[in-house]
């Protein structure tokens, strides 16, 4: 791969790194705050604080209050448990390494992407990402994922919160529903603060799907800044992704079979 030596440095940059550098220069010329030393560390602190704030927000408190009733409803409907764990989890903030990687990946997918879709023109310089704060709800059964997505939507509607739900089924073997909702928070910097609305992501998946996805990520840390082609791994049985990605599909199938098995067993008993 061709490399370039920047003037005044001994560092060799790959074409990907050069593109990345150009991207950040473009961002910094759009929002000058991005180039200010300490910007990313401050943004990370804000994300951690927002995760704490949203974990105790009225919406999330209402989710925690309603969970026992949802679990009981689901059991009456299906005979099975709704959640794989005993409590609704807290939110976590996204680390800046991941934020930067994700933004670079979005740029790699479309180098002509309008910078305004990644950063706001006005207001606090907070990246326009869906998952600056996120949490994951593990369900016991596949139809629990659909159920949780629905009741979260109903509750958000009842509380007048803007939300969106997506059902993700990716070639990479990722199966989950994403529930996005908006929350007003404060962007803190120096001694001041400014209100800003961020999107929060609730990932909803089965416990099995979560385990497979997280484990496969640990064995193969794919570059999140470059686009991945399925051909890279689909025909190479020695690539760890050759096992991990189809395993995600197999687990999705197994999750579906478990629902059928549960329902048949209910019928027989």
Partner 1 sequence: MKTKELIQKEWSAYENLISSEKLEQLISRPCEYMEQELRAVIPSIELATDGPVIQSVFLFTDDYLCEARLAENAENFDIGLRKTVLNYRFELGSHEVKSPEPQPAEGAEQTKEARVIQPRIYQTAKVFFYHGLSLSTSIHYVGDGRESWIRAVRAIMPVEILK
Q: Please state whether beta strands 12-13 and 4-5 pair in parallel, antiparallel, or not at all (unpaired).
A: antiparallel
CA distance 14 to 2: 6
Burial code (b: 16+ CB inside 10 Å, e: under 16) for 15-49 equals eeeebbeebeeebeebbeebeeeebeebbbebbeb
**Binding of residue 44 to partner 1 (CB under 8 A):** yes
Contact call for residues 107 and 25 (beta carbons, < 8 A): no
Q: Which stretch binds partner 1 (CB under 8 A): 63-71, 158-166, 171-179, 186-194?
A: 63-71
**Binding of residue 51 to partner 1 (CB under 8 A):** yes
Going by C-alpha positions, the residue among 135, 140, 205, 133 that lies closest to residue 167 is: 205
**Binding of residue 47 to partner 1 (CB under 8 A):** yes
How many chain residues are in contact with partner 1, going by CB under 8 A? Answer: 36
Comparing CB distances to partner 1, the nearer of 219 and 230 is 219
Comparing CB distances to partner 1, the nearer of 15 and 68 is 68
Q: Which stretch binds partner 1 (CB under 8 A): 65-73, 117-125, 183-191, 192-200?
A: 65-73
Q: Which residues does residue 198 pair with via DSSP β-bridges, in sequence order?
A: 183
Distance in Å, CB of 112 to partner 1, minimum: 27
Q: Which of the residues 112 through 151 are near partner 1 (CB under 8 A)?
A: 134, 140
Provide the 8-state DSSP code for 83: B
CA distance 83 to 75: 10
CA distance 88 to 78: 20
**Contact pick of 4, 11, 35, 65 for partner 1 (by CB under 8 A):** 65
Helix (H, G, I), strand (E, B) or coil at 96: helix
Q: Which of the residues 77 through 106 are near partner 1 (CB under 8 A)?
A: 77, 79, 81-87, 89-90, 92-99, 101
Q: Contact positions toward partner 1, by CB under 8 A?
A: 44-45, 47-48, 51, 65, 67-69, 71-73, 75-77, 79, 81-87, 89-90, 92-99, 101, 134, 140
């Amino acid at each position: 791969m061709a490399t370039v030596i920047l003037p005044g440095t001994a560092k060799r940059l790959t074409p990907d790194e050069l593109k990345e550098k150009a991207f950040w220069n473009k961002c910094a010329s759009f929002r000058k705050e991005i180039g200010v030393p300490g910007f990313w560390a401050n943004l990370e602190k804000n994300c951690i604080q927002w995760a704490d704030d949203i974990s105790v927000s009225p919406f999330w408190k209402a989710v925690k209050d309603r969970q026992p009733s949802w679990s009981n409803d689901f059991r009456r409907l299906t005979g099975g448990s709704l959640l794989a764990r005993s409590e609704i989890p807290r939110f976590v903030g996204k680390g800046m390494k991941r934020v930067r990687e994700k933004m670079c990946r979005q740029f790699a997918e479309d180098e002509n992407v309008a910078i305004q879709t990644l950063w706001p023109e006005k207001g606090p310089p907070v990246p326009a990402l869906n998952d600056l704060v996120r949490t994951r709800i593990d369900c016991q059964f596949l139809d629990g994922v659909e159920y949780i997505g629905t009741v979260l939507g109903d509750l958000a509607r009842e509380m007048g919160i803007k939300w969106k739900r997506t059902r993700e089924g990716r070639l990479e073997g990722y199966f989950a529903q994403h529930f996005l909702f908006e929350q007003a928070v404060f962007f803190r910097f120096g001694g001041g603060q400014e209100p800003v609305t961020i999107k929060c992501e609730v990932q909803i998946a089965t416990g099995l799907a979560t385990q497979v996805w997280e484990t496969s990520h640990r064995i193969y840390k794919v570059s999140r800044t470059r686009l991945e082609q399925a051909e890279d791994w689909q025909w190479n049985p020695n690539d760890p992704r050759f096992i991990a990605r189809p395993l995600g599909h197999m687990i999705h199938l197994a999750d579906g079979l478990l629902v059928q098995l549960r329902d048949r067993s209910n019928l027989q008993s």
